[in-house]
């Protein structure tokens, strides 16, 4: 059948039908042709052009497979280096972004059967850091370019230079100590008195303390200890000043505080205690447990991992942050903290309970689940539809 004339009504209709991404199973990589349905793909396979391309493929199939695999790998890594350069991202998210271009190289024409095999290949070749989680494979791009290697080399050289400078400085200090004769430890000897020395006596006055205070206030210069002429005058002066400051601080502590000052000090102490030791409720986050919720146990060490990732029903909530959970399989009753439990997302159409947010405590119906963005769409009992609700804000109920 001849092609339609460019600009005609039939040509415009075909262009509108072919707009957007079509199903991958109706795409011919050898001919680079996208068919709209199964009948069109069948007709294409029977055409002369497709038959000629398949004859070329049969003659050297390995070469074509290697070329397609190389194109797919280059396009995928180019997208990783440009859009997800320094982020840890889900592999399925990158793949969906890659196939959004209708002229991309399809995976069914490469040597990799599944996306998991391709992700493991990237990890083996050192192009990405990979790790497997319950949500799927995660990727993180590794910069193997010449500029990155040069930057790493310069950073290593700078670190080595800093270490060498520290070593030289330490050796210099050791040499200075050695030249000075080293450090000498003090030697402690017993107190020995000669026979002709006078006995040591302490003069303690028995005068009234009130008289002492009056005399010290009226004659501040007389309270200072007299300076000896045979010793270091500056050292004696500093000692006298230190004794006066200690006496002043002791007198200030002995003064009675007023009622206003006591209240102020108690208020400051309570604020300091709150900052240093926050309450358990603030550290544990917002409580979301409620009776009747279906939760998943995330404790790996409890009873040798018997209840790990198993579901149960909350029978009773204790102190807002702990709950008694009846396991679904074994019917055992265990008590766990909120941090060791996880919400359960039911199937579409099931009832959930809003456990966080402004609508906390209200029931809703599950409408849609987005595994790529880890959020759901629910409909409240009054007909309000909420989109982009996080997994931890809703939970399945046993109702």
Q: Parallel, antiparallel, or unpaired for β 341-343 and 333-337?
A: unpaired
Over residues 356-383, mean pLDDT? 88
Instruction: Please determine, for residue 30, whether its predicted confidence score (pLDDT) is greater than 80.
Output: no
Percent of the chain exceeding pLDDT 70 equals: 70
Burial of 260-270, coded b for 16+ CB within 10 Å and e otherwise, reads: eeeeeeeeeee
Over residues 198-202, mean pLDDT? 62
Q: How confident is the model at residue 83 (pLDDT cuts 50, 70, 90)?
A: confident
In the block, tokens 């102190």 appear at: 319
Q: How confident is the model at residue 212 (pLDDT cuts 50, 70, 90)?
A: very low
Percent of the chain exceeding pLDDT 90 equals: 10
Within 10 angstroms of residue 156's Cβ, the number of other Cβ atoms is 10
Longest dimension (CA), the chain: 137
Structure confidence at residue 48 (pLDDT)? 85
Hey, which CATH number is domain 287-344, 3.40.50.360, 2.30.30.140, 3.40.50.2300, 3.30.2290.10?
2.30.30.140
Q: What is the 3-state secondary structure (H, E, C) of the chain?
A: CCCCCCCCHHHHHHHHHCCCCCCHHHEECCCCEECCCHHHHHHHHCCHHHHHHHHHHHHCHHHHHHHHHHHHHHHHHHHHHHHCCCCEEEHHHHHHHHCCCCCCCCHHHCCCCCHHHHHHHHHHCCCEEEEEECCEEEEEECCCCHHHHHHHHHHHHHHHHHHHHHHHHHHHHHHHHHHCCCCCCCCCCCCCCCCCCCCCCCCCCCCCHHHHHHHHHHCHHHHCCCCCCCCCHHHHHHHHHHHHHHHHHHHHHHCCCCHHHHHHHHHHHHHHHHHHCCCHHHHHCCCCCCCCEEEEECCCCHHHHCCCCCEEEEEEEECCCEEEEEECCCCCEEEEEHHHEEECCCCCCCEEEECCCCCCCCEEEEEEEECCCCEEEEEECCCCEEEEEEHHHEEEECC
Q: Given this structure, which CATH class describes domain 21-141?
A: mainly alpha
How far is the C-alpha of 291 from the C-alpha of 314, rounded, in Å?
5
Instruction: Please determine, for residue 134, whether its predicted confidence score (pLDDT) is greater than 70.
Output: yes
Question: Do the domains 345-399 and 287-344 match in fold?
Answer: yes
Instruction: Please determine, for residue 132, whether its predicted confidence score (pLDDT) is greater than 60.
Output: yes
pTM for the model: 0.33
> What is the architecture, at CATH level 2, of domain 345-399?
Roll (2.30)
Structure confidence at residue 293 (pLDDT)? 92
**Domain extents in the chain:** 21-141, 287-344, 345-399
Instruction: Please determine, for residue 221, whether its predicted confidence score (pLDDT) is greater than 50.
Output: no
Lowest mean pLDDT among 49-63, 92-106, 212-226: 212-226
Contact 323, 341 (CB under 8 A): yes
């Amino acid at each position: 059948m001849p092609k339609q004339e460019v600009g005609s009504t039939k040509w415009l209709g075909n262009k509108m039908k072919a707009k957007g991404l079509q199903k991958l199973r109706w795409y011919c990589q050898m001919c680079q042709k996208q068919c709209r349905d199964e009948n069109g793909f069948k007709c294409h396979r029977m055409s002369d052009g497709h038959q000629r391309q398949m004859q070329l493929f049969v003659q050297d199939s390995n070469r074509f497979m290697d070329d397609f695999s190389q194109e797919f790998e280059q396009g995928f890594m180019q997208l990783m280096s440009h859009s997800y350069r320094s982020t840890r991202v889900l592999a399925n998210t990158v793949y969906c972004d890659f196939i959004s271009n209708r002229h991309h190289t399809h995976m069914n024409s490469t040597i990799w059967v599944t996306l998991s095999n391709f992700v493991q290949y990237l990890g083996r070749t050192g192009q990405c850091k990979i790790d497997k989680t319950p949500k799927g494979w995660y990727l993180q791009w590794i910069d193997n370019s010449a500029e990155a290697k040069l930057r790493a080399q310069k950073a290593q050289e700078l670190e080595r230079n800093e270490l060498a400078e520290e070593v030289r400085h330490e050796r210099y200090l050791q040499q200075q100590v050695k030249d000075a004769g080293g450090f000498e430890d003090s030697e402690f000897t017993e107190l020995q008195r000669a026979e002709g020395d006078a006995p040591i006596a302490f003069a303690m006055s028995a005068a009234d303390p009130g008289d002492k205070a009056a005399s010290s206030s009226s004659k501040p210069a007389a309270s200072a200890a007299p300076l000896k002429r045979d010793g270091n005058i500056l050292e004696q002066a500093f000692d006298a000043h230190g004794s006066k400051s200690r006496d002043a601080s002791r007198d200030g502590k002995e003064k009675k505080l007023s009622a206003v000052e006591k209240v102020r000090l108690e208020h400051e102490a309570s604020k300091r205690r709150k900052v240093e030791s926050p309450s358990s409720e603030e550290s544990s986050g917002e409580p979301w447990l409620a009776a009747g919720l279906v939760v998943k146990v995330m404790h790996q060490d409890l009873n040798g991992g018997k209840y790990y990732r198993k579901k149960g029903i909350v029978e009773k909530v204790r102190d807002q942050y702990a709950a008694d959970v009846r396991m679904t399989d074994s019917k055992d009753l265990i008590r766990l903290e909120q941090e060791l439990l996880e919400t359960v997302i039911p199937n579409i159409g099931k009832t959930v309970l809003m456990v966080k947010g402004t609508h906390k405590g209200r029931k809703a119906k599950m409408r849609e689940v987005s595994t790529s963005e880890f959020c759901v769409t629910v409909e409240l009992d009054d007909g309000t539809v909420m989109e982009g609700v996080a997994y931890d804000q809703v939970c399945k109920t046993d109702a």
